[in-house]
Structure 1
Amino acid sequence: MEITRENSGEMTATVKIAISPAEYTENVNKVLKDYQRKANVPGFRPGHVPFGMIKKMYGSAVFADEVNKLVSDALHNYIAEEKLDILGQPLPNMELTPLFDWKDEKEITFFFDLGLSPQFDMTLDDSIAIDYHVIKVNEELLDKYMVDIRQRYGTMSATEVAGEKDVLDGEFVELDTEGNILENGIANKSKLMIDTVKDEEIRKSLVGAKQGDVISYNPAKASGNASETASLLGITRDRAENLESDFRFTIQEITTMVPAELNEEFYNKVFPDEGITELKDFRERIRIESEKAFTADSDHLFMHHAQEKLLELAPMQLPDAFMKRWLVESNDGKIKAEDLEKDYDKYAASMKWQLIENRLIKDFNIEVPDDEIKDYVKDRYLPGWRTMPLTDDLSSRLETLANSFLETRHDEVRRIIDGLFETRISALIKSKVKLHEIEISYEDFVKLDAEKH
């Protein structure tokens, strides 16, 4: 086998692979003989079909498969041995590759185009300043959080008239098209939280209701969610998806959430063993926790700024013509050439950032251990498991679930791994550059973040 490479541009090259009959004939004949042993052709005993007939029936397909394997492996090994840093994948050059007939058993030549990765300088230190927006919780937002947490720690109490956030206990009975109770229809006692009703008109009809009131409406329309409808009516999700009936809802009890009182007992429930006795100290503690919760949002926007800054500091040129061709050919018609022209700058920026990420991963030895991937999957099945006293049985089941996930859901696993790498890269950049901290209200942060997306 002869493999040569010739530069076709500043950042592109063409690889020529020439294979002789001796390199592919043996494998082709071996596969065809295996077909001969297994072939079941009318008029011949199994295993006795003439080889010439087998070759005529399957030779073209077998030849194509075996030669493709041989060429693919050779190209892959060549790129690895030559330590070529390429973009995307090699593309067949059909203009240079001559037509051939598999029956001729002569030397075959293939040509492949490569896009070569650009070389660029990369520094990451405190000489680089990047904006980092610190979200501050103002008094108005803090008041909202205080209402929410008092509701969360409140107690349920019976009330006479339903408010917007109250819970209605009652019985649902399915109706026919004329508004009468449907024989053998759905009937179920359930709790309805008014603020979960998506349909505004139906929600307004429930506010102000009293015990004993009867309200007819379509639960599927009200929720707009098949799973919520199924839970409310005690039916399967599949049945809920096709449900069109109205239901008669008879209200049997109304309960409302009475917010927790602002006292030391409440403060201690929320923040045990911290000895908070004053409202002002409690509010400040809530403010601190709320601002911590916004760190992920700040980090997300920070990475947008970091991408812009590092791309600016590490200019690089891509082999644009090759990249456009690769994007079109590798996406099975999902990307059209005319659409790509409009959006190419975005694709190019994404590719350049990926090159910077790969450089950071290599230069700083960033790794994601297998155990961490598995632990992340376990978090999805049982949040908080790390701090739980797990039994041997539960631990074993969790391990089995995680292993099954990793073995069968490859696309999701790839996304998890990418996310874990991104988290590490974000932490690395934050630790190396100078953070230009800017205090900002949550409202202004939302506006700023929207501008970046």
Structure 2
Amino acid sequence: MPKVERKDIDNLNAVITVTLEKSDYEPKFNTELGKYRKQANMKGFRKGKTPVSVLRKMYGKGVLADVINEMLQSELYQYLNENGLNVLGQPLPSEEQEPVEFDLKALQDYVFKFDIGLSPDFEVKGADESETYEKMAVEVADDMVEEDLMAARKRSGNRESVTEMVKDNDMVKFAARELEGETVKEGGISTEFSVLINNNTNEAVREALYTKKQGDTIRLNLLELEEGRDEDYVRKYYLNLEEADADVTFNPEFEAEILEVNRIVPAALDQEFFDQAFGEGEVASEEEAKEKIREQIAGFYNNQAEALLSRDIQERLLELNPLELPEAFLKRWMAASNEGVTAEQIEAEFDGFAKNLQWSLIRNKLVSKFEIKVEEGEVVEAARRRIRSYFGGAPMAGMEQIVESTAMRILQDEKQVEQLYEEVLTDRVFGALIEKVSIAEKPVDLKTFEAEVEKARASNASSAAAEEEE
């Protein structure tokens, strides 16, 4: 029977020695050669009658290597599991390992040595009620509610022609004529087109339009009217020229009359609007609509505040739980696991790798501490949430059918299922932590809060870019 022994180098490194005696592997070796014999169809021999000596000469070393490797892996990982060893990375052939040569003429005992890196033994600090964390709380101002209600009314509103002065987000229809100097060019281009007046519109033009209404005229440089519009766009959408008109030249200066101003008229505060904006029967009055919006805004900022809180908790746990790691072993493992990576790259990336590993070990301890288990249904619901987020989270007719079918497709991808599982597990860990530790709410104004959110996004973007480079 194979013999497995462990020798501790220190509390983070050990050597596992696996001894396979001839009597351990020879029966399996002969059995595998026998399988080859049954299947072999070699010239000069009837099928299944090829002499074992011939097969041994042709395939013996490969078969023996496969048998040895299979038994070796089985014994090694069975030992690790049975002894509850928390191994980092994967076992690596020991630097003390002598070269192994398979001699079919004289089968012998084989000794294999593996270096392993061990997870440090620790208890997580900072994960109980004695630790206090601050959570930012944004007060939802009345003007924020009013603004969101108006935005919802405009989304459900209709564009109507108005005779008032132009405002932002108006759709203005122009009848424009090409100029030559200060006068309309004889035989020049005449065209009609519409422009949505917003931040994309030339600032000087916007300011001038605020004093204009239907029937008024304004001078426009079509090449400068909207940001990001090149000459091809101007020719096609402003001048209505076809590809056949490629030889037509024009002066970008035009005199334009405002033919029509169309403005979104907000939906009335009636039951039809309430049902469309909040779901049938959910809201029946303006007051209820405002309260619903206040809850939605509060929920939005609370989700962001909890994300920031989770970030702060993670950083604090990393600070309170510095872990000693088997660095030399891990650098060898990184080199073995990443073909083509240089020693310089490993050195440059090791600190980031070690920090991620530190957090992974802390998180795994917390999973055990809080007895967290992720159920299949949680992963499925996480897939649904991911799809809903693509729609901005707002309910739409027929959306749930799309959500369900798309989520089911995602769940066929093993890699995406693993990502979803990790997301759910991490969320569950932070949820358990937030319930366990002491939380002190810190009221902040919206400007301060948004600055902190932007800072966190920038940090995440920087980390993601660094990971891609790695």
3-state SS of 1:422 partner: helix
Change over 3 Å in CA distance of 1:129–1:208 after alignment to 2? farther
- Quote how far apart the aligned CAs of 1:5 are: 0.9
The separation in 2 between residues aligned to 1:307 and 1:126, in whole angstroms, is: 16
Quote the residue 1:214 is aligned against: 240
Answer yes or no: is 1:351 the counterpart of 2:357. Answer: yes
The separation in 1 between residues aligned to 2:415 and 2:41, in whole angstroms, is: 39
- Quote how far apart the aligned CAs of 1:139 are: 7.1
Quote the residue 1:119 is aligned against: 121
3-state SS of 1:91 partner: strand
Calculate the TM-score normalised by the size of structure 1. 0.71
Aligned length: 383
Deviations, residues 182-233 of structure 1 (Å, cap 9, x unaligned): xxxxxxxxxx9999x99821599579978xx62569xxxxxxxxxxxxxxxx
Structure 2 stretches lacking a partner, 5+ long: 174-194, 201-225, 244-259, 461-470
Quote the residue 1:149 is aligned against: 152
Rg (Cα) greater in structure: 2
The separation in 2 between residues aligned to 1:290 and 1:337, in whole angstroms, is: 50
In 1, are the aligned partners of 2:92 and 2:116 still within 8 Å (CA)?
yes
Residue type at the aligned position of 2:44: G
In 2, are the aligned partners of 1:91 and 1:114 still within 8 Å (CA)?
yes
In 2, are the aligned partners of 1:155 and 1:259 still within 8 Å (CA)?
yes
Deviations, residues 120-171 of structure 1 (Å, cap 9, x unaligned): 122422211123233455677666634532332222557999x968699xxx
The separation in 2 between residues aligned to 1:450 and 1:431, in whole angstroms, is: 25
The separation in 1 between residues aligned to 2:303 and 2:282, in whole angstroms, is: 27
- Quote how far apart the aligned CAs of 1:293 are: 1.6
What pairs up with 1:12-411 in 2 under 5 angstroms?
12-103=13-104, 104-123=106-125, 124-136=127-139, 145-156=148-159, 200-201=228-229, 214=240, 258-261=264-267, 263-265=269-271, 268-269=274-275, 270-271=277-278, 272-277=281-286, 285-333=292-340, 335-377=341-383, 402=408, 406=411, 408-411=412-415
- Quote how far apart the aligned CAs of 1:38 are: 1.5
Quote the residue 1:237 is aligned against: none
Answer yes or no: is 1:423 the counterpart of 2:427. Answer: yes
Query: How many percent identity over aligned positions?
Result: 26
In 2, are the aligned partners of 1:98 and 1:109 still within 8 Å (CA)?
no
In 2, are the aligned partners of 1:194 and 1:203 still within 8 Å (CA)?
no
- Quote how far apart the aligned CAs of 1:63 are: 1.4
The separation in 2 between residues aligned to 1:16 and 1:256, in whole angstroms, is: 82
In 1, are the aligned partners of 2:16 and 2:113 still within 8 Å (CA)?
yes
3-state SS of 2:229 partner: helix
The separation in 2 between residues aligned to 1:308 and 1:120, in whole angstroms, is: 17
Deviations, residues 217-262 of structure 1 (Å, cap 9, x unaligned): 9xxxxxxxxxxxxxxxxxxxxxxxxxxxxxxxxxxxx996724246
Deviations, residues 323-378 of structure 1 (Å, cap 9, x unaligned): 22222212333x43212212322211111111111111111110111233344446
In 2, are the aligned partners of 1:100 and 1:108 still within 8 Å (CA)?
no
In 2, are the aligned partners of 1:378 and 1:398 still within 8 Å (CA)?
yes
Residue type at the aligned position of 1:96: Q
The separation in 2 between residues aligned to 1:153 and 1:11, in whole angstroms, is: 64
Answer yes or no: is 1:448 the counterpart of 2:448. Answer: no
3-state SS of 1:312 partner: helix
In 2, are the aligned partners of 1:194 and 1:206 still within 8 Å (CA)?
no
